[in-house]
Amino acid sequence: MGAGIRILLVGIAGLLVGAWLMTVVAPKVPSSTLNWPIVAVVKRVRPSVVVVVNNRVAEKKEQAKGMGSGVIMNRDGDIVTNYHVVQGADSLTVILSDNRRYKATVVGVDPPTDLAVIRIHATHLVPATFASSANIEPGELVVAIGNSLGLTHTVTVGVISAKDRVLFRDGWQYHLIQTDAAINPGNSGGPLVNTRGELIGINSSKIAQTGVEGIGFAIPSDTVRHVVDQLLEFGRVRRPWIGATLVPTTQRTLGMLVVSVTPKSPAAVAGVKPGDFLESVNNHPVHRVRDVIKVLEKSGVGERIRLGLLRGNQHLSLSVTLQELPSSISKKAS
C-alpha cells in the first residue's frame, strides 16, 4: 500500500472518529428550540379558527357551494367571518379545529365592511385574543391562518405592507391592512395575527391579476370589534348620518361645497343650506368626503357634532344631532 493511500485512509478515519465524538460529547439541543417562533403562534391561534361552509339547496338536496374561514369571538359561540363567505347561503356549517361540526345561524351581516357574525351552540370553545390595529407598523411580521383552497388550517407568513389602504369595491369604501402573506380563496374570514398570536385583522381579499403577487388585504381588528359589537347588540351596524351631499372644491381653503340637503335630515334641522361651504367637522378641517367619514366613524347615533360653515362672507358654527343612516339612502351618502 502506497504512502499516499495510507495518509488518505488515516484522514478518513479521523473524520469519522471526530463526527462520532461530536454526537457523544456535544450537548443535545432541545427540539423545541429549533422551531421557528411561528410554530408557537399557530398552536395558540389554531383552536380559535374554524371552517365555514356555505350550503345551497339544489334539486331539494343541500350541497356545499363555498368554503371560508371564521374566528371564534367568545365562549357563547359567536364567530366572525366575511359577509361574502355567508352570502346567499341556505344553511351554514361550522367545523371546529377538533373536527366537531355544528349548524350555524346568522346573527347579523354588514356588507360595507364585508363582515358577518354567525353563532353556534358548542362547548369548550377557545376565543381569539385581540390586539388594536392602531398599533401595527409596516414591516411587522404577521401570520395568516385559514382554509385556503379547501386545505384546512393553512398557515402563511409575511409582513404588514401598509397600514391603511383605501379600496373601493361595489360602491363601498374599505380601509384595510395590506400584507404579503399569501391570501387565497378559503382564507376569507380567517385571522391575521401578530407574533404574540393576537388578532390584528380578518383576512378578506387579494388582488387576483396575472403578474401580481403578494398583495393581500385584511380588515383591521379595531373595525372588526366595532362592527361585531354593533351586530351583537342591534343585528346591524348603526351608522351616523348628516344628510348633506358634499363635493370637494378646487380651493382647499373653502373646504367642501354643500350641493344638496335631504329634507328633515340632521343637516336640514340644524340649518345647513345648499351653497354653504363645509370647512370643518368638530374642529377638524375637511377637504374630502373621507375627512368627514373619519370624524363620523368616531361618533355615534344620537351624538352631537359641530359643523364649521362658510355662507357668503359669514363663518357659522352649527350643532348637528346625528341620526342613523336610513336604509333607503344611497350607499354613497355622507
- Domain map (residue ranges) of the chain: 42-119, 133-234, 240-324
- In terms of Cβ atoms closer than 10 Å to its own Cβ (0-12, 13-18, 19+), residue 44 is middle
Is the fold of 133-234 the same as that of 240-324? no
| pLDDT value for 314 | 94
User: Taking 80 as the threshold, does the pLDDT of residue 177 lie above it?
Assistant: yes
pLDDT band at 215 (very low <50, low <70, confident <90, very high): confident
Least confident residue range of 37-46, 169-178, 316-325: 169-178
Query: Residue 144's closest CA among 193, 206, 214, 195?
Result: 193
Close Cβ partners of 4 (under 8 Å, ≥ 6 residues apart): none
| pLDDT value for 166 | 80
- In terms of Cβ atoms closer than 10 Å to its own Cβ (0-12, 13-18, 19+), residue 262 is middle
User: Taking 50 as the threshold, does the pLDDT of residue 332 lie above it?
Assistant: no
User: Taking 50 as the threshold, does the pLDDT of residue 33 lie above it?
Assistant: no
| pLDDT value for 17 | 54
Residue 217, CB-side half-sphere exposure with 13 Å CA sphere: 17
Which residues are known catalytic residues?
84, 114, 188
CATH class of 133-234: mainly beta
| pLDDT value for 334 | 43
**Average model confidence (pLDDT) across the chain:** 85
CATH class of 240-324: mainly beta
Q: Residue 312 is placed in which grid cell? A: 357668503
User: Taking 80 as the threshold, does the pLDDT of residue 167 lie above it?
Assistant: no
- In terms of Cβ atoms closer than 10 Å to its own Cβ (0-12, 13-18, 19+), residue 263 is exposed
Least confident residue range of 18-22, 69-73, 192-196: 18-22
pLDDT digits (tens, 9 = 90+) for 237-280: 988 889 999 999 887 778 899 999 999 999 999 999 999 999 99
User: Taking 80 as the threshold, does the pLDDT of residue 170 lie above it?
Assistant: no
pLDDT digits (tens, 9 = 90+) for 279-329: 999 999 998 888 888 788 778 889 999 999 999 999 999 999 999 988 765
CATH topology of domain 42-119: Thrombin, subunit H (2.40.10)
Q: How far apart are CA 332 and CA 247, in angstroms?
A: 12
Residue 322, CB-side half-sphere exposure with 13 Å CA sphere: 24
pLDDT digits (tens, 9 = 90+) for 93-119: 999 999 999 999 999 999 888 999 999
Least confident residue range of 2-6, 79-83, 188-192, 230-234: 2-6
User: Taking 60 as the threshold, does the pLDDT of residue 65 lie above it?
Assistant: yes
The pTM (predicted TM-score) of the whole model is 0.78
